[in-house]
Structure formats: structure tokens, C-alpha cells
Structure 1
Amino acid sequence: MSDLSLRRYDVDPSPPSAREALRDAALRVIAPAFVLFALIVAIGWLIMAPLGGLRSEDDLSRSVQRGRTPTWDAITAVWSHIGNTEIVIGVCVVAVAFVWWRTRQWWYAVVPAIAISVQATVFVIATAIIGRPRPKAVHLDPAPPTSSYPSGHMGASTALYVTFALMAQRIERPWLRRLLTVVFLLVPVLVGYGRLYRGMHHLSDIVVGLLNGLVCALLAWYWLRRRDPGRR
């Protein structure tokens, strides 16, 4: 990603009109999200039908289960819960309010909210259609009513914290910018491992959840057209 893309909201800080915002959201977020949804459902169908549910992934889950310890049980509980719906929404609301207050740019502040909203929509419908059972392992977390595929925890944490990493590029102090970028990008990795360790998802569920969150983060980041600096 180029420096111009990372600082696109600095390059053109002009507010969009309501018509421009709705047009861009429809063309640059909602329409591509349909393609993403179709891709995720197609992958899920491939896993469940021609590939027979990838039963070898249950062996991986049981292998991870055999390595559990009380210490790692406690650590991964924290990592897993970072991706809980209520925590993701709460962190997002606080972040949107803070960025809006600091920048006075609502169209920039809503980027994380767009990311998690689109991710959640794609995830909820896809998981209802595919209906994949959870791994045949001891589950350390309560199983939500959704099915195993794709991982909603992984998708939500990726969508949220990747947008935070993109927004962190505005920070002027290099050491703080780099530190926060690394921390934000590390969070989804920890959530994904936590969900695998705790027997809540197959590896492919986590990988596709990562795909869902990453694409939604990028759609949110580019949701609004920004002018090229040479045309301003």
C-alpha cells in the first residue's frame, strides 16, 4: 500500500455531501461485499461438500487440545474474548467517538464502524447458509448460536484492528506509529490462535474469517473517494 493511500484522508480532508457518501458507500462497499459474500459461501460449500468437511482438521484440533495447560488456558481466554461481539462493538464505539472528536471528520471516524458492520453482515448470513459443525474437541468457550464457518471472532477483530493500524499512520511520532501498528496487527493473530486453541474453530474457519475481516477493512478504508493531490 502506497504512502498516498495510507494518508488519503490527509491528502483530501474535504467533507463529502450526503449524496456523495451514499453513492460511494453503495458502489465501493456494498457492491463489492456481495462478491466477498459469494466467495466465502463458495469456499464453505467446497469445504462441506467436495472436501467432506476437511475431517483432518479435527485431528489438528485434538492435537492442539493435547497441549493445553492451565496457564495457556487462562492466556487464550483473554485473547479469545477480545473478539467477542460486545467487546468489538464497545471498542469501536469508543474509537469512532475519539477520532471524531480529535479530527472533526465524521467520514474518517466511521471507517472502523463500516468495517465491522460489513464483516458482521457477511459473516452472519454465510454462517447460517453453511452451517458447519464446530471441531470435535473439548470447547473451552461457550459456543455462540452461529456455526463454525467462518470465524466471526477472527473476522471482527481483523476488520477492527486492521483499520486501527491504517488509521495509526496519521501519528506523527515514528516510534509510536510503528508500535501501535505492530500491536494492532498482532491482535487478530492472537484472537485466531486463541479460538483454535480453545477448540472453537477449525483452521480453515479462522483463515476465511481473516479473509473476511481483511477485505472488509480495506473496503472501509477506501469507502470514500478522495481527490488526487495533483487535481486539487
Structure 2
Amino acid sequence: MVTVRERRPAAHTPSSSTAVEVARRILLPLTLMALVTLGLGLLLTRVLEHSSLIAQDEAVSREIAQERTPFWNTITHYGSMLSDTPVIIVVTTIMVVIFRLVYGRWRESVFLVAAVCAQSAIFLLATVFAQRARPHVQHLDPAPPTSSYPSGHTSAAVAFYCGVALVLTLHTHRHTILKALWWVLGAGAALTVGLSRLYRGMHHLTDVSWGWVLGIFCVFVLAQALLIRPVMASRRASSKRTANEAAPA
């Protein structure tokens, strides 16, 4: 007698389900943001290059350049330095080590590195295909080879400083004053960098504005996937264990 073995549907392995989850929660939204960023850049440089929007962008830069003073030149010099590439690399490395040592795990460190790298990748993609000239004013900083759109300094500042603020907020969620302090410092640093780049003639207003949007988006997507969902799940499990232990036998 010939026996026919019953075929069972292949079960999803943990690795495959994890890959699908990563793609759905991280790769897909970041890919969409990259396409939107690139599309907006091409719109600004290929379609709207002679529009009133571009003219207004240049007018804002000229008006700011005419109001420069030695005091604000110095202030914005240090404000811009907060997000220079070597600075971001060094401070990110430092915070990765601190988070690992303080929290005893890699989750927070991986989130911070992922947020910084994600915005950088999208920024570099846009600068390659949508090369926008910098404002036609005196530049107070050396112009890097990348284009004006979007502001990489701004998106990196949001990713790092707001990313750090978010991590600290999640670990001090019961202390309102500390939470406010983290966001005043984090958002304040990101805002300072963007305004400094605008003041120093390195980017148009639209470049800086989209830099803020890009940084916020990367922080939000990666925080949802790597920080907030695991933290909330951990808290629910802890509350459930506490409730079970308190329940009468």
C-alpha cells in the first residue's frame, strides 16, 4: 500500500515574519518619503524654477542677507556647527555608547543610528537627482558639494537632537518637567540649526522647511517601529503581571 503524505502549509518562520514587519513598518514608509522628497526636488528645479515660489525663496534669502550683523554671524556660526557632519557622527557615537550602558540593551542605540542614517540616505538621494543651486547671496560657510535641497544639516539635527529627546522622554515619562526640558533642548537645537543655515545663505526657506519635515518623519517612523511599540508592549506586560500577582489565588 502506498501512503500519501499529507502536505502541510509551510509555517512562517520568525525570521520571515520579522522581515515582513520591518519592511511594512520601516522600509515602505521611508521609501515613500524618499520618492516624495525626490519628486518635490524635481518639481522645484525642473518645473517651478521660474515660478513666484522660487522668486519668493530668493527674496527671503536676500532680505535676511541684508540684515546680517557681526553678532548674529557669530551666533549662527555655532548654531550651524551643531549639525556639521563630523559633529553629528561624534555625538551620535557617544549617545549610542551611553544608551547601551545606561539601559543595558541596544534598542535605543539602534533607533538613534537608524534615524540619523535614514534621513542622510534620503537627503543624499535628493541631492544627486534634484540638484538645486544655493541662494544667490553671500555664503557665510564653505559650500559642500551637495545641492541646496533639502537641508541636510537641518534633517540631521532633527534626527539626532529630537531622537535623543524622544528616548529620554520615554524613560522619564512620569516627570513632566524633565520631558519638557528634553524637548526644549532637542527641538530648540533643530530649530537653531535650520534658522542658522537660512541666515548664513546656505539654503532657501523651502530647503530648510523640508529638512525639518524629513527629519521629523524619519524619527516618527523609526520610533514607532523600534521604540514606542516595544515600550508600550513591555508596559502592558508588566501591568498584566502586576495585576495577576495582586489577584487572590
> What range describes the TM-score normalised by the shorter chain of this pair?
0.7 to 0.9
User: Runs of 5+ in structure 1 lacking a partner?
Assistant: 1-16
* Alignment RMSD (CA, Å): 2.1
Aligned residues: 216
What is the aligned counterpart of 1:201 among 200, 203, 206?
203
Which residue matches 1:50? 47
Within 5 Å, give how 1:122-137 maps onto structure 2: 122-137=122-137
Read off the aligned partner of 2:63 and give its amino acid letter. S
Shift, 1:176, TM fit: 2.9
Instruction: Name the SS for the 2:225 alignment partner.
Output: coil
Deviation at 1:70, TM superposition (A): 0.6
Deviation at 1:155, TM superposition (A): 0.6
Tell me what 1:26 maps to.
23
**Secondary structure class of the residue paired with 2:47:** coil
TM-score (normalised: structure 2)? 0.80
Question: C-alpha distance in 2, partners of 1:202/1:185?
Answer: 20
The answer to whether 1:158 aligns with 2:158 is: yes
AA aligned opposite 2:211: G
* Secondary structure of 2:196's aligned partner: helix
Residues 191-216 of structure 1: CA deviation (Å, up to 9, x unaligned): 01000000000000001111111111
Q: Give the structure with higher Rg (CA).
A: 2
Match of 1:90 in 2: 90
- The whole-number CA distance in structure 1 between the counterparts of 2:196 and 2:84 is 12
Deviations 1:37-77 (A, max 9, x none): 00011111221233226132111111100110111000000
Query: Which segments of 5 or more consecutive residues in structure 2 lack a partner in the other structure?
Result: 1-13, 241-249
Structure 1 residues 207 and 144: CA distance shift in structure 2, 3 A:
same
Q: Does 1:38 align with 2:35?
A: yes
| CA spacing shift, 1:160–1:18, aligned 2, 3 Å | farther
1:138 aligns with 2:172: no
Structure 1: how far apart are the matches of 2:164 and 2:218? 13
Identity among equivalent pairs (%): 32
Highest RCO, 1 vs 2 (Cα 8 Å, sep ≥ 6): 1
Residue 5 of structure 1 is matched in structure 2 by none
Distance in 2, matches of 1:116 and 1:45, equals: 24
Counterparts in 2 of 1:129 and 1:79: CA distance versus 1, 3 Å? same
Instruction: Look up the equivalent residue of 2:210 and give its one-letter code.
Output: V
Q: Retained in 1: the 8 A contact 2:159–2:215?
A: yes
C-alpha contact (below 8 Å) 1:168/1:181 kept by paired residues:
no
